């Protein structure tokens, strides 16, 4: 079988983690089988259409490296690939007519008030919820003609078979059976003439030769309706693949508090696209063995339906951060500087970090400072980035982490001053630091370490910690950071002296 799958988003909201995993799985599956991945825009719900979302969908997919061999923006022999355009061409009119002629669909004329009364009755009497026929399922042609002549609005509903078992063979869950009497008659064509997902997606899947309908397990309850549609037309059913849901670490449905956000927010937060792809691919799918860190090519090579799990996948921000930190450490300092500078100047980065919800307002100033410093002293920036590379997990963190390298007067942490500039030896230490490095052209980490250890030994200190800490605060304003000797060498003698003199003024 030549695999053909489709990613079919609706332009009703920005793509989030679940949407992107859906697209990624199809990309990996099509690549693995040397098949075709199709992008189709399902925009029949015009009441929820949001301008600009189509463009955001495409931008998200491009950033993630998800490829399409056919479809919206790519062309192909099965277009158009936007459902509203397919509707205008009369594609759905043709097939709903076939369905009605075969008795598998009917017009229903209930008003909104009548449908509300039906639902309330079902609720009170604890009946199955849904539309199971009313008077119109078995109405005579004369009754239908009279309703149309009276100008009554109608929808076209699917006539589900009664008193039968509908069997679905799901690629993950195996045989799933449904009592057809519990499956409601879904609306196929709305009152405005637009097809619903239930109808348009299945018709398009057949016409586009889709071999596997891959989607979230929340669609399992709709599977008997869709299977019945294929059967009513006499079409071969595609293989149903209902992928596991995504939960947070607490086992509850994924939400924003777990880290679920739109795809492009991960870009603006400083995550690498490959990291996000690697991370999302492993939510509900296992490649076998203990493999976790995988390139896109490796994911494509390994991905198949056998690795999909029926149990919910878990979205773990800690794991995402670990992965992103790992991939950042695989880059050279020059590669990181290039990425950070592009990241700092991206309009979406500033927009994200200036939102009210994002409390950390120090990110953008730090990034812009790094970008400016790179224009005048690229060597210092690359050394700073290299020293912080082991400590940060996102591109966004490099700005603040490296800021003290480029600031003429990095701000002092008041608690650090109170603790370490108050020790009895602080003044003498800083004065000797000035003496040692004033007038020196350059220094190495070994030079800096030699000074610290010699000073501790000369002043009868058993450990170098009491020497390291005041020196670090003088150099950076903070008590934490990369290795002291390496950062001092990166700063160079002139900055060491200037910062030591500034620190002396605090004592």
Query: Rounded CA gap, 271 and 28, in Å?
Result: 21
Query: Rounded CA gap, 182 and 129, in Å?
Result: 9
Give buried/exposed letters for 240-278 (b at 16+ CB in 10 A, else e).
Answer: bbbbbbbbbeeeeebeeebbbbbbbbbbbbbbbbbbbbb
**Residues 9, 57: contact at Cβ < 8 Å?**
yes
Task: Report residue 253: phi and psi, to 5°.
Answer: -55, 135
Query: Rounded CA gap, 333 and 507, in Å?
Result: 37
Q: Rg of the chain over CA atoms, in angstroms?
A: 32
Query: Rounded CA gap, 494 and 305, in Å?
Result: 61
Kindly report the length of the chain: 507
Closest CA to 198 of 56, 44, 408, 334: 44
Q: Look at the block and give the residue holding tokens 């158009």.
A: 80
Q: Is 439 left (phi over 0), alpha (psi -120 to 50) or beta?
A: left
Query: Rounded CA gap, 214 and 242, in Å?
Result: 6
Query: Pick the catalytic residue: 94, 253, 256, 415?
Result: 256
Query: Is 419 a catalytic site residue?
Result: no
Query: Rounded CA gap, 9 and 53, in Å?
Result: 10
Most distant pair of Cα atoms in the chain: their distance: 109
Half-sphere exposure at residue 167, Cβ-oriented, CA atoms within 13 angstroms: 3
Q: Look at the block and give the residue holding tokens 């709305």.
A: 190
Q: Look at the block and give the residue holding tokens 């000074």.
A: 451
Residues catalogued as catalytic: 256
């Amino acid at each position: 079988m030549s695999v053909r799958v489709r990613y079919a988003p609706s332009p009703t909201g920005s793509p989030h983690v679940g949407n992107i995993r859906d697209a990624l799985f199809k990309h990996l599956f099509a690549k693995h089988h040397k098949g075709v991945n199709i992008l189709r825009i399902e925009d029949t719900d015009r009441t929820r259409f949001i301008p600009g979302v189509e463009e955001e969908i495409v931008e998200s997919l491009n950033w993630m490296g998800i490829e399409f061999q056919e479809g919206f923006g790519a062309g192909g022999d099965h277009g158009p690939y936007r459902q509203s355009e397919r509707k205008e061409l009369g594609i759905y009119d043709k097939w709903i007519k076939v369905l009605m002629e075969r008795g598998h669909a009917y017009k229903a004329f209930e008003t909104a008030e009548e449908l509300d009364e039906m639902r309330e009755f079902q609720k009170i009497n604890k009946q199955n919820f849904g539309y199971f026929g009313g008077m119109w399922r078995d109405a005579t042609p004369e009754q239908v003609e009279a309703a149309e002549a009276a100008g009554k609005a109608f929808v076209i509903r699917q006539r589900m078979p009664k008193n039968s078992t509908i069997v679905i063979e799901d690629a993950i869950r195996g045989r799933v059976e449904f009592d057809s009497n519990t499956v409601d008659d879904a609306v196929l064509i709305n009152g405005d003439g637009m097809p619903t997902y239930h109808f348009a997606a299945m018709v398009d899947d057949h016409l586009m030769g889709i071999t596997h309908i891959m989607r979230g397990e929340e669609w399992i309850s709709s599977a008997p309706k869709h299977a019945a549609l294929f059967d009513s037309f006499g079409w071969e059913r595609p293989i149903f693949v209902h992928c596991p849901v995504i939960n947070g670490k607490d086992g509850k449905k994924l939400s924003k508090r777990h880290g679920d956000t739109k795809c492009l927010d991960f870009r603006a937060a400083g995550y690498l696209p490959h990291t996000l792809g690697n991370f999302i691919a492993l939510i509900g799918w296992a490649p076998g063995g203990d493999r976790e860190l995988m390139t896109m090519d490796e994911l494509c090579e390994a991905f198949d339906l056998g690795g999909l799990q029926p149990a919910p996948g878990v979205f773990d921000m800690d794991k995402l951060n670990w992965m992103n930190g790992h991939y950042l450490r695989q880059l050279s300092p020059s590669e990181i500087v290039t990425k950070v500078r592009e990241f700092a100047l991206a309009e979406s980065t500033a927009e994200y970090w200036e939102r009210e919800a994002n409390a950390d307002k120090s990110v953008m100033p730090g990034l812009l400072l790094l970008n400016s410093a790179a224009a005048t002293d690229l060597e210092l920036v690359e050394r700073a980035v290299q020293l912080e590379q082991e400590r940060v997990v996102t591109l966004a963190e490099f700005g603040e982490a490296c800021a003290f390298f480029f600031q003429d007067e990095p701000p002092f942490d008041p608690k650090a001053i109170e603790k370490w500039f108050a020790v009895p030896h602080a003044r003498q230490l800083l004065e000797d630091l000035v003496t040692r490095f004033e007038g020196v052209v350059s220094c190495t980490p070994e030079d800096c370490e030699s000074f610290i250890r010699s000073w501790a030994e000369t002043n009868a200190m058993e450990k170098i910690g009491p020497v390291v800490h005041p020196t670090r605060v003088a150099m950076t304003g903070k008590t934490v950071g990369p290795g002291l000797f390496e950062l001092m060498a990166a700063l160079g003698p002139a900055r060491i002296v200037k910062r030591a003199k500034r620190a002396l003024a605090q004592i």
